Amino acid sequence: MPSLRTSAIICSVHSHGEHGAVVRSLTPDNGLMSGYVRGAHSRTMRPVLIPSNVVQADYRARTEEQLASMTAELQRSRGPFLGEPLASAALDWVTALTAATLPEEQAYPRLHSALSALLDAVCGAPSAKGWAVVLVRYELLLLSELGFGLSLDACAVTGSEDDLIYISPKSATAVSAFAGQEYKERLLPLPPFLKSPATPDWDEIFDGLRVTGFFLKRHFFEDRRKDVMAARSVLIDRLKRVVA
Residue range 125-143, pLDDT digits in tens: 889 998 999 999 999 999 9
Angstrom distances, CA of residue 229 to CA of 61, 135, 147: 33, 15, 20
Q: State the virtual CA torsion across 138, 222, 34, 87 in degrees, nearest 10.
A: 40
CA 174 to chain centre: 23
Closest residue by Cα to residue 9 from 29, 88, 134: 29
Domain ranges of the chain: 1-77, 80-152+190-244
Whether 23 contacts 99, CB under 8 Å: no
pTM to 2 decimals? 0.94
> Residue 226 pLDDT > 80, yes or no?
no
Phi-psi region of 54 (alpha: psi -120 to 50; beta: other; left: phi over 0): beta
Which pLDDT score is estimated for 1?
57
Arithmetic mean of pLDDT, 180-209: 93
- CA angle (21 as vertex; 24, 97 as ends), nearest 5: 30
Question: Residues of the chain with pLDDT > 70: what percent?
Answer: 98
Q: Could you tell me which CATH number the domain at 1-77 has?
A: 2.40.50.140
Percent of the chain scoring above 90 in pLDDT = 86
The average pLDDT across 187-202 equals 92
pLDDT grade for 238, boundaries at 50, 70 and 90:
very high
